[in-house]
Amino acid sequence: MMTETRKTELESQLNQMIMMLKEAQKSLFKGQYIHAAIFVGNVSDQLPTMRMMLARG
């Protein structure tokens, strides 16, 4: 069972990842492909850890 504190932490981390993907999208539209790649890479690096935390419940 996940505590409310843990749920809040996970939600915050997911929101940060969403913000990074939005920034990647903005960079892409501006033609800043390297910046977009960095944002996407940062999110990609966090996904395995996030997946494990969510799976534990």
* Alpha helices for the chain (secondary structure H): 4-29, 33-56
Cα separation, 50 vs 24, whole angstroms: 19
Selection from 19, 28, 6 nearest residue 46 by Cα: 19
Convert the pLDDT of each residue in 1-53 to its tens digit.
789 999 999 999 999 999 999 999 999 999 999 999 999 999 999 999 999 99
pLDDT for 2 equals: 84
In the chain, where the domains are located: 20-57
pLDDT for 17 equals: 97
CB 17 within 8 A of CB 44: no
pLDDT for 1 equals: 77
Task: Report in angstroms the alpha-carbon separations of 50 from 11, 15, 42.
Answer: 10, 12, 13
- The pTM of the whole model exceeds 0.85: yes
